[in-house]
Amino acid sequence: MAALGAGIVVTLILMQALKKQRSKYVDGEMKIKGLISCRRYTYEDIKTMTNSFKEKLGQGGYGSMYKGKLQDGQLVAVKLLKKLKGDAEEFFNEVASISKTSHVNVVTLLGFCFEGSKKALIYEFMPNGSLEKFIFNKSNTLELDQQLTHGLECLHKGCKTRILHFNIKPRNILLDTNYCPKISDFGLAKICPREESIVSLLCARGTVGYIAPELIIRNIGGMVSKRKNIEVTIDRTSEAHFPHWVYRCLELQEELGLLGITNEEDEAITKKMIIIGLWCIQIYPRA
């Protein structure tokens, strides 16, 4: 009888503890969702707006992108995310940060889905695809670079919490109706408090040839040289750090092998872009 009574007491204590834990989780989730400025959709909503994922726009390391349409007729791009590390709180925090980012050169997040393992992000639709299709034949590279740096500045400095993208490359730059470039695909993004000046980079994340500036720089180099960085081959590891090679060529006034340079004005603009890129990645920016 005593054992039965003790068992009942233990059961009640466990039930109470689980109830408190559940209540704390729900309260925390509600608090986080209250900070999100975009709409939450169900997985059934996602299936409906994409017509059961009928039109696939692309495939990335962190999920697939599908074309969709909202009830009001607005076209959207739906990114169905694969299994990601982190809990619900981390996911909601990242969605909250990205949803509050408003800049002409950053793709707008319109909504999200979170149902157990089902996670999706709904973005505005960019009808002209990615910059990758145009970078190698468009002449206004300088203007595009300027617009993209404004977008990156917004992510790094203009948000309440800084957003580090980690995978800037032509494929992740989308073009709207007027060919205005917008930064997209935050699958690798790291949300950092504004007060953090040093960010841990224990693991290199991103596409080979376009890994974040803190690791290896080829991004602006790809736009300047109009070459696909993934095709670059490196025989010696000492030459693997792209900025060192570029800096050495500039210092020795060696040929960079740039394509599409037809006159001195183009050459001067190109070198200016390269120098600005090198400034941006200095370990000691004020040096």
Each residue's pLDDT, cut to its tens digit, for the chain (287 residues) gives 655 556 565 676 777 766 655 544 444 454 455 567 789 999 999 999 999 999 999 887 678 999 999 999 999 999 998 866 667 777 888 788 788 888 888 899 999 999 988 999 999 999 998 887 776 555 566 777 778 888 888 787 766 667 777 777 788 889 999 989 998 876 555 655 544 444 444 444 444 444 454 444 445 555 555 555 444 444 444 444 566 777 777 776 666 666 556 677 777 777 777 777 777 666 665 65
pLDDT at 147: 85
What domains are there in the chain, each with its CATH number? 39-124 (3.30.200.20), 131-280 (1.10.510.10)
Q: Which of 108, 106, 97 is nearest to 161 (CA)?
A: 97
What angle is formed at CA 57 by the lines to CA 77 and CA 79, rounded to 5 degrees? 45
Cα separation, 230 vs 218, in Å, equals: 10
Query: 0.75 exceeded by the pTM?
Result: no
pLDDT at 116: 85
Q: How far is CA 60 from CA 118, 134, 186, 212, 269, in A?
A: 17, 20, 11, 17, 33
Specify the pLDDT at position 25.
46
- Strands in 56-60's sheet, in edge-to-edge order, are 39-41, 109-115, 118-124, 75-81, 63-69, 56-60
| Strand pairing class (181-183; 109-115) | unpaired
Q: Are 38 and 109 in contact (CB under 8 A)?
A: yes
- pLDDT at residue number 216: 41
- E strands, the chain, are 39-41, 56-60, 63-69, 75-81, 109-115, 118-124, 161-164, 173-175, 181-183, 190-193
- pLDDT score recorded for residue 51: 97
Burial class (CB in 10 A: 0-12, 13-18, 19+), 62: middle
Q: How many angstroms separate the CA atoms of 167 and 173, rounded?
A: 10
CA nearest to 273, candidates 254, 255, 258 = 258
The predicted structure's pLDDT at residue 196: 46
What is the C-alpha R_g of the chain?
23
Cα gap 185→141, rounded to integer Å: 21
